[in-house]
Amino acid sequence: MTTAILLWVVYLAAVASYVRAAVRATQGGANPWWYVAGVPLVYLAILGSITLFWFALAWVFRSPRPKAMRIGPGATLRLFWDEMWAIARSSRRMAMYRFLPGDPPPRSADAPVLLLHGVLCNAGSMHDLRVALVARGVGPVYTLSYGPPLASIDSFIDQLAGKIDAILAATGARQVAIVGHSMGGLIARAYLRRHGPQRVGTVITIGTPHKGSVHAWLFPGVSLGQLRPSNAWLAELGRARPSKEVRIVSIWSWHDSMVAPQTSAELAGAENIALAGIGHNALVRNERVYDIVATELKRVGEPVPARSAPMSVTAR
């Protein structure tokens, strides 16, 4: 709820400021239609500036990319455009998440899936992924909005535990699969550290900063402090080796715009799937990612592979 309220405050304040400026200008003799026509341009300028800032910071602190993962000018423009619209779509979903479809009704199911959003977000940011997975025959699919946003990740674990118990009770399933975007993947790993693998069979992280991201230094809050590189909380989480009973898959992008260095999203001991040409928010609004996640979820029940060393698969 906090995220949605903050978004509405920002939206209304921006509209009020623009209308005020337009009224003053028209009272001074300006043509009001210029301000009407300028609405989409101002919106694009603000959205583009935000996206450009994230990419610029990610580029400065980028991981050295293999030659095969480098992209040309056309793909770079598409990368920027897709990320910009992913941010726009996500913000609208988060502002209206109370009006989006809720969890599926209770029914018997063997492989329920729970989606976990990233930092400063809510369940609305996972709506498109949820719809895509259901369309691909995965489900039932549940979401969780945890918070307050700036609290410790450790406090989110208890909320996750309650949700998992509720899903298992509603479906009669023995375990759930968790798909976590960004910080959501860390919450899933922290849950395993505290509660063990009994109720979770698969964890898929998408664009998760397993070793932190420099972007976290831009915001206050306990949870953001836990996302900063080399902090004590992440170091402690890293010492908890992945359970041999849980399949862990990390999907990440060499061009992630909010995880830098990008290889921070590669998790030792997991099955790593590296992509190229996809930004951070676009990772949960990308058909290629939808297909990969659905395929991995349909592998639920397969034996967990040996984890003597990280396994990486490059997928363009």
The predicted-structure confidence for 184-201, as pLDDT tens digits, reads as follows 999 999 999 999 999 999
Query: Which pLDDT score, from 0 to 100, does residue 7 have?
Result: 46
Query: Which pLDDT score, from 0 to 100, does residue 93 have?
Result: 82
* Domain segments of the chain as ranges: 98-314
Query: Whole-angstrom Cα distance, residue 158 to residue 236?
Result: 18
Query: Which pLDDT score, from 0 to 100, does residue 199 have?
Result: 94
Query: Which pLDDT score, from 0 to 100, does residue 100 have?
Result: 83
pTM of the predicted protein model: 0.88
The one-letter amino acid code at 137 reads G
Q: Report the candidate in 251, 144, 246 with the shortest Cα–Cα distance to residue 193.
A: 246
- 73: Cα separation from own chain's centroid: 26
Torsion angle in degrees (nearest 10) through CA of 94, 180, 260, 51: -20
Query: Which pLDDT score, from 0 to 100, does residue 18 have?
Result: 53
Query: Which pLDDT score, from 0 to 100, does residue 21 have?
Result: 66
Q: Which residues of the chain have pLDDT under 50?
A: 7, 307-313, 316
Q: Which of the listed CATH numbers 3.40.309.10, 3.20.20.20, 3.40.50.1820, 3.40.30.10 matches domain 98-314?
A: 3.40.50.1820
